[in-house]
Structures are given as C-alpha cells and as structure tokens.
Amino acid sequence: MSEFAISGVMTLGKLVQDGLISILFTIMVQSFKKTIEGLEFVLQWVNDWLRLRGRAKPWQVALRGILGLLWSPIAFFLRFYTVVLIEPGINPIKFPISSVAAKFTYPIIIPLTPEIVHFFSPFIGDVVSNLFFGTTIWLMPNLFGFLFWETKENWGLYRANRPQSLRPMAVGTHGETIPQLLKLGFHSGTIPKLFMKLRKAELEAVSRSDWRKARTLRLDLQTIKERLARFIERDLLIPMQQNNKSFIKPLRVSEISLGLNRIEAEMTGMDDNGYASFKISLELVDGILMGSVSKPGGTLALNEQQNRCLSLGIAGLYKFAGIEISKEQVTSNLPSWVSDWKISEGNLVLFSENQSTILVPINTGEPLLKLQVKNLEKACTLNTLDAERLLFGRQPLTWQEWSEGWDRSANSLYVWPLYYAGVEPDIVGNAPNRIPFDTIKCWQETPESADLNQGYKSV
C-alpha cells in the first residue's frame, strides 16, 4: 500500500513537473470560453432568423418585427446574467475575486433587499419580485469578478498590440503630431498656416474694421496652446510627479509660446527653497525637428536621481513629439575642437577654430556619419561620427525601458540611465564636459587634420 502511494505521488509530481497545472488551467479557461461562445452563437442565430431578407409579405414583416421586440430584452438578460453574473461565480479562475467582493458588498446590499422587493411588488408581484431581485442581489458580487478579469484581459490585449517603442502621438485638434503641426504640407503645417491666415485677416480687419475672423484664428491658436500644455502635462509632468519621489513639489506648464517653426513651453513650480523653472523648445530647423532644454533656473538644484528622472521624462516627451535631434545631446557628443554647429540643407555643419566648415550629412540613414571638410586647399580625409550617439531619433526608446524607469523611481530605487550606443545621452544639458574623442572612430592622421587633433591631445 505504501509503495502504491509513493508511486502515485511520484507520478503526480512528474505530471506537475511536465505542466499538468498549466494544462488544467488552459482546459478550464477554454471550456468556459467555448460555453460563452456557444451562447453567443445561439443568440446570433436567433437574431439572424428574425432579420428580414429579400422580399417578404406584410404579415411576415409584422410578425418578425413583433418577435424582434420581444426577443431583444430576452437576449439582453440572457447575455448579461450568463456572462456577467453567473459565469464569474462558477469559474474557478474568477471566483476568488467574486468571493472577496462578496465580503464587502453583501453587508451593504442584503439589508436593502426587502425594501427593493417591497417597492416593486405592486408592479410585478411578490413572487416575481423576490425571485428577480433576490437572485440579482445574490449574484451581484460576481460583477466585480467580471470587471476585474475583463480589465486585465483588455490591458493585456492593449499591451500586446502596443508598438514596442515610443512613437509620435496625436496632439492637434485634428489628430496632428508635433511634426505635422510645424511642417508645411498639404495636410500639415497647422501652426504656420494659422499664422499666415491671421496676418492676412488682421490686415483686412484694419481696413474693414471687422475683427471676427482674426479673433477666430487667435482662438484656434489658443486651442493649440491648450492641447500642447495638456500633452506636456500628461506625458512629462504627471509621470514625474505621480510615479517617482524625486520631485516632491509639483511643476506645471506656465506658458506656451508659438512661432512659425517653434514651440516653447515653460515649466514653473516651487521647490523647498523657492521658485524654479525651465523651458523646453521644439523647433523645426531645415525640415528637421530639434528639441532643446534650458538649464533649470531659480533655486532648483538637481541631484543625480532627479537629473535621471528629468532626462527619462524629457526623452519620453521627445519620442512622443517626434524629435529627431536633441541640441544638448549633439553638443555633448561632438569633438572638443568644434566651437559651434548648426543644421543646414540636411547637414550638420561644424565650425572649428582652426579649420574651415565641416559638413556631416545626417539624412543618409547610415550608422556612421562621414565628415567632409569644405573649402580646403589640400585634400583632407576625416572619418566618421556615431549616428546613434549623435542623433536622438536614431535610437528607439522602448515602452519597457520607459515604464521600468518610472517604476524604479516610484520605489525609491536607482534609475538606470539610458544608453545610446554605450553612452548616456545628455538630454538636459548637465554634462560637465564633452565626451572623449574616441567617438570619432578610425581617425586618419593627415597634415590637414593635425590641427583638429590638437583638441583631443589637450584633453
């Protein structure tokens, strides 16, 4: 007998090890799913039978119309009671939620049952009232099991269909993204088009003394400002304030400024010592959307954790806004001999103190950006810059990285920095100095590049 019991236990353990529990769980879930699908099939079959097809005699139209009116409430109550109130109570997967909900709901709703039954008894009778409302109130806790499970399943479906990385989001009143608000096009360029219409409307208003059209256009611009403020608060300030403990005092969008090719948002708030503020600028430069952040002003001093949280929030905001280049990231990743730079005709134009203009094409899609020296008497062969370190839009930011950063901050844990090609991007402009010169790979020594290399030798 003992050997038989030991053998049975060992066999059961092996089955559990081979996935017996997961198989039973799957069978249970699928069986209830098929039952609900069977009910839906029957209800849909009746609906199809009651539906008119082709030419029908008048008495058939009247009969099916009357039967349809009678069937609609029956189908509704069958579906509602089976799916919402009965199935969660007998499904072992959902029953724990329903049982917990019953402990909170029964003490509240059971004392009200006699009053509800007594109120409806004159209309439907004592027997029907007791049967209907007594059964409904008894099954009411299963509603919470249904809601919990459906919310869980819908969230899982949403996460499964969500893009892996952060993408530009609709901001405008007609579903425009930030690039579509600024870039002129057939179905884009909302902000510059409004400014052009406003300029024309105000010129006409001066001569005609009719400012209605101008006021309407200004109201449209104000609506865009409100949408932009809501976008920044939803995707930057609210995550910073709700999901982490680094910023105790709240920040808010105090002002939105619009230009033909520029959006500027100023965030202000109060820290422990007083006033604090910083600005975020989204600017369209030669068809490329560039973002920049002014260093925090006032009395706000960021520690390392706050700086990481701010960088994480602004990186997410940049991805939602469709930013291609971060001004601070480019500045911190350029060699030390670069004194200034700008964007022109799809090129990153570098200015050196000792050399002529250097062009870096950034729209090629290549992982390495080739440097081209312009207007030199002798040929100069320079090499490349890492595009993933230099250009913000080249490196994706996944939802998992973004959400895990906020989760760690909410639990007062160290927020891991974002790494672009092995280097943490300086998005908020707080890097102490530029990165070492090794971001330029395979540097070839030439007489023309010797002076450029002095910047690296002096570091």
The pLDDT score that the predictor gives to residue 194 is 93
The pLDDT score that the predictor gives to residue 264 is 92
Among 90-94, 220-224, 418-422, 437-441, where is mean pLDDT lowest? 437-441
DSSP, collapsed to helix, strand or coil, labels residue 36 as: helix
| CA neighbor of 308 nearest in space, from 211, 407, 382, 414 | 414
pLDDT above 90 (res 222): yes
Q: Give the pLDDT band (50/70/90) at residue 96.
A: confident
pLDDT above 80 (res 46): yes
The pLDDT score that the predictor gives to residue 217 is 92
- Contact between 133 and 120 under an 8 Å Cβ cutoff? The reply is yes
pLDDT digits over 264-296, tens only? 998 887 655 555 678 899 999 888 899 988 866
Q: What is the pTM of this model?
A: 0.67
pLDDT above 80 (res 176): yes
pLDDT digits over 383-404, tens only? 667 777 788 888 888 888 888 8
Between 378 and 319, the higher pLDDT residue? 319
Q: Give the pLDDT band (50/70/90) at residue 379.
A: very low
**Can you read off the two tokens belonging to residue 386?**
């890492």
Mean pLDDT of 81-93: 87
Mean pLDDT of 410-422: 70
The pLDDT score that the predictor gives to residue 199 is 92
pLDDT digits over 400-410, tens only? 888 888 888 77
pLDDT above 70 (res 448): no
The pLDDT score that the predictor gives to residue 271 is 56
- Contact between 321 and 289 under an 8 Å Cβ cutoff? The reply is yes
Residues 6+ apart with CB under 8 A from 327: 290, 291, 292, 429
Question: What single letter denotes the amino acid at residue 36?
Answer: I
Q: Give the pLDDT band (50/70/90) at residue 231.
A: very high
Q: What percent of the chain has pLDDT over 70?
A: 80
| Angle subtended by helix axes 20-50 and 2-17, to nearest 10 | 60
Residues 371, 411: Cα–Cα separation, whole Å: 45
| CA neighbor of 251 nearest in space, from 232, 264, 231 | 232
Q: What percent of the chain has pLDDT over 90?
A: 13
pLDDT above 60 (res 38): yes
Q: Give the pLDDT band (50/70/90) at residue 457.
A: very low
The pLDDT score that the predictor gives to residue 297 is 59
| CA neighbor of 256 nearest in space, from 171, 359, 185, 370 | 171
The CB density around residue 201, as the number of other CB atoms within 10 Å, is 20
Q: Give the pLDDT band (50/70/90) at residue 159.
A: confident
pLDDT digits over 108-127, tens only? 888 888 888 888 888 888 88
State residue 410 phi and psi, 5-degree precision: -65, -30
DSSP string, 95-164: HHHHHHHHHHHHHHHTTTHHHHHHHHHHHH-HHHHHHHHHHHHHHTTHHHHHHHHHHHHHHHHHHHHS-S
Residues 189, 259: Cα–Cα separation, whole Å: 12
The pLDDT score that the predictor gives to residue 195 is 93
Q: What is the CA radius of gyration of the chain?
A: 33
Q: Give the pLDDT band (50/70/90) at residue 450.
A: very low
Residues 60, 228: Cα–Cα separation, whole Å: 58
**Can you read off the two tokens belonging to residue 375?**
């207007």
The pLDDT score that the predictor gives to residue 154 is 82
Domains, the chain: 2-161 (no CATH), 178-318 (3.10.450.630)
pLDDT above 80 (res 8): no
Between 427 and 326, the higher pLDDT residue? 326
C-alpha distances (whole Å) from 235 to each of 70, 191, 313, 412 are 49, 21, 8, 21
The most confident of 67-81, 323-337, 414-428, by mean pLDDT:
67-81
The pLDDT score that the predictor gives to residue 380 is 43
Q: How many CA atoms lie within 13 A of 424 on its CB side?
A: 14
**Can you read off the two tokens belonging to residue 227?**
């949408």
The pLDDT score that the predictor gives to residue 455 is 30
Residues facing 325 on adjacent strands = 290
pLDDT digits over 320-377, tens only? 999 988 888 888 878 777 778 888 877 888 887 665 677 777 776 666 666 666 554 3
Mean pLDDT of the chain: 78
pLDDT above 90 (res 13): no
The pLDDT score that the predictor gives to residue 128 is 86
Residues 136, 128: Cα–Cα separation, whole Å: 12
pLDDT above 60 (res 422): no
* Burial (CB count within 10 angstroms: exposed 0-12, middle 13-18, buried 19+), residue 22: exposed
Residues facing 372 on adjacent strands = 359
In 234-274, at which residue ranges do the beta strands (DSSP E only) sit?
A: 251-258, 262-270
pLDDT above 70 (res 179): yes
